[in-house]
Amino acid sequence: MDEAHRQTLGRAVIFLGPPGAGKGTQAKQVAKYFGVPHLSTGDMLRDHVSHDTPLGRRAKPIMDRGDLVPDEIVLDMVAERIARPDGANGFVLDGFPRTLPQAEKLDQILQARSWGKPVVVHFVVDPAHLLRRLTGRRTCAIGGEIYNIYDQPPRVAGRCDNDGGELIQRADDQEEVIAERLAAYEAQTRPLVDYYRRQGMLVDVDGMALPASVTGRVLEILGTGQQAAR
Ligand code: AMP
């Protein structure tokens, strides 16, 4: 993409939706487009787990069973990450906030830093498709590129198109854990849809469309500044 044509994001964008809605795939594209960080709390936590940090050791059993990690762990991690200079022109939050206390704390953090209101992009996906998306998901061990063995397969089975990295399945993308993650979404995260909609900050996006067209729609929302009117 041509740097000269890159628009400035200048705000926080929240990608909201159930596991398997395509948040990670879209967040990578949109963050790249605007040249801002993609902040995935799931990726940050997996990083802690793979480095066997004290935080990772606390989070691992919770993640393995598909439950949400306690708010204070996630909030400390996010507050520290947002404060870094690379987020000065905005950032895309993927998988955060996931509970009302997290959303309220994020409001405070953004206010304290004189950020305007975030834009919340809500990915709407037919629940019947989520299982297929999650069980078919594979992630490149090198660059983190996301594939789906059913719908978005790589050119060579098991290998990333970009860098040839091994495609791996996330430990929590097993069917029994997926059920728990979807239940956690319904109980703890779904209320955020109303929380943000009431405040006029939320835009629904059809997450069932082809990935490139979903990206186009999200960029349109973020680029035109018409999100409140839609
Ligand atoms: P994700 O990659 O977003 O699907 O997250 C994977 C797992 O990390 C979740 O199932 C939770 O256990 C944990 N996690 C990620 N983000 C959060 C969050 N904002 N609050 C609590 N737990 C989280």
The Cα–Cα gap between 6 and 28 comes to 15
Side-chain-facing half-sphere of 199: CA atoms under 13 Å: 14
The Cα–Cα gap between 230 and 228 comes to 6
* Residue 156 forms part of a structural domain: no
Active-site choice (32, 117, 170, 197): 170
The Cα–Cα gap between 218 and 122 comes to 10
* Residue 20 forms part of a structural domain: yes
pLDDT in tens, the chain (230 residues): 444 445 788 899 999 999 999 999 999 999 999 999 999 999 999 999 999 999 999 999 999 999 999 999 999 999 999 989 999 899 999 999 999 999 999 999 999 888 888 999 999 999 889 999 999 999 999 999 999 999 999 999 999 999 999 999 998 999 999 999 999 999 999 999 999 999 999 999 999 999 999 999 999 999 854 443 33
Catalytic, 65? Answer no
Residue 123 dihedral angles phi and psi, to the nearest 5° = -85, 115
**DSSP letter string, 98-151:** -SHHHHHHHHHHHHHTT--PPEEEEEE--HHHHHHHHHTEEEETTT--EEETTT
| Domain carrying residue 211 | 3-37+84-126+184-224
* Residue 177 forms part of a structural domain: no
Domain count, the chain: 1
Is the CB of 63 inside a 6 Å radius of any atom of ligand 1? yes
Pocket test for ligand 1, best of 64, 68, 106 (most atoms within 8 A of CB): 68
Q: Domain holding 206: CATH number?
A: 3.40.50.300
Active-site choice (98, 105, 133, 138): 98
The Cα–Cα gap between 201 and 195 comes to 9
* Residue 107 forms part of a structural domain: yes
* Residue 145 forms part of a structural domain: no
* Residue 52 forms part of a structural domain: no
